[in-house]
């Protein structure tokens, strides 16, 4: 294979490898806390029943709040907690992980294929051989 064609194919393989590796790198280098609900968007107790149940000494938190049995002391003052005082943050990584898994697997396969093709091109295993005519 002429050196110019070999360089062209090697450049293609490197480019395709980088395109396929970029999503994998981006996923592995993300901060681990980005999947949590932001503090400014805390989920109220009433809206979080489908994802979490909170208990205090084996009693449901919502029942204790409605009965006025929970108090909070702040600077020497004691006040009864209401349901509006409670908020939850959720880690949504489990929901997002399933969506990204297919794309990451495809990218990993493409990285492997382009790395193999690049290796074959650089080692000359895809060398062009003239056709032999049979008489």
Rounded to whole angstroms, how far apart are CA atoms 61 and 135? 91
> Is the distance from CB of 110 to CB of 23 less than 8 angstroms?
no
**Per-residue pLDDT at 22:** 92
User: Residue 62: which of 41, 47, 78, 79 has the closest Cα?
Assistant: 47
Rounded to whole angstroms, how far apart are CA atoms 45 and 43? 7
**Per-residue pLDDT at 132:** 60
Rounded to whole angstroms, how far apart are CA atoms 70 and 56? 10
**Per-residue pLDDT at 96:** 74
- What would the pLDDT profile of 90-113 be if each residue is shown by its tens digit? 887 777 777 778 888 999 999 999
Position 135 confidence tier, pLDDT thresholds 50, 70, 90: low
**Is this model's pTM higher than 0.75 or not?**
no
> Is the distance from CB of 37 to CB of 43 less than 8 angstroms?
yes
Q: Where are the domains of the chain?
A: 1-31+94-135, 37-90
């Amino acid at each position: 294979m002429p050196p110019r064609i070999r360089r062209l194919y090697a450049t293609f393989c490197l480019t395709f490898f980088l395109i396929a590796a970029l999503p994998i790198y981006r996923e592995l280098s993300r901060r681990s806390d980005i999947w949590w609900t932001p503090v400014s968007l805390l989920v109220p107790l009433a809206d979080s029943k489908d994802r979490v149940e909170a208990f205090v000494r084996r009693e449901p938190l919502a029942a204790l709040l409605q009965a006025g049995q929970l108090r909070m002391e702040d600077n020497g003052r004691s006040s009864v907690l209401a349901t509006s005082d409670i908020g939850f943050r959720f880690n949504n990584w489990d929901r997002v992980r399933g969506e990204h898994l297919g794309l990451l697997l495809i990218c990993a396969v493409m990285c492997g294929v382009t790395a193999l093709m690049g290796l074959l091109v650089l080692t000359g295993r895809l060398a062009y051989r003239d056709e032999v005519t049979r008489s």
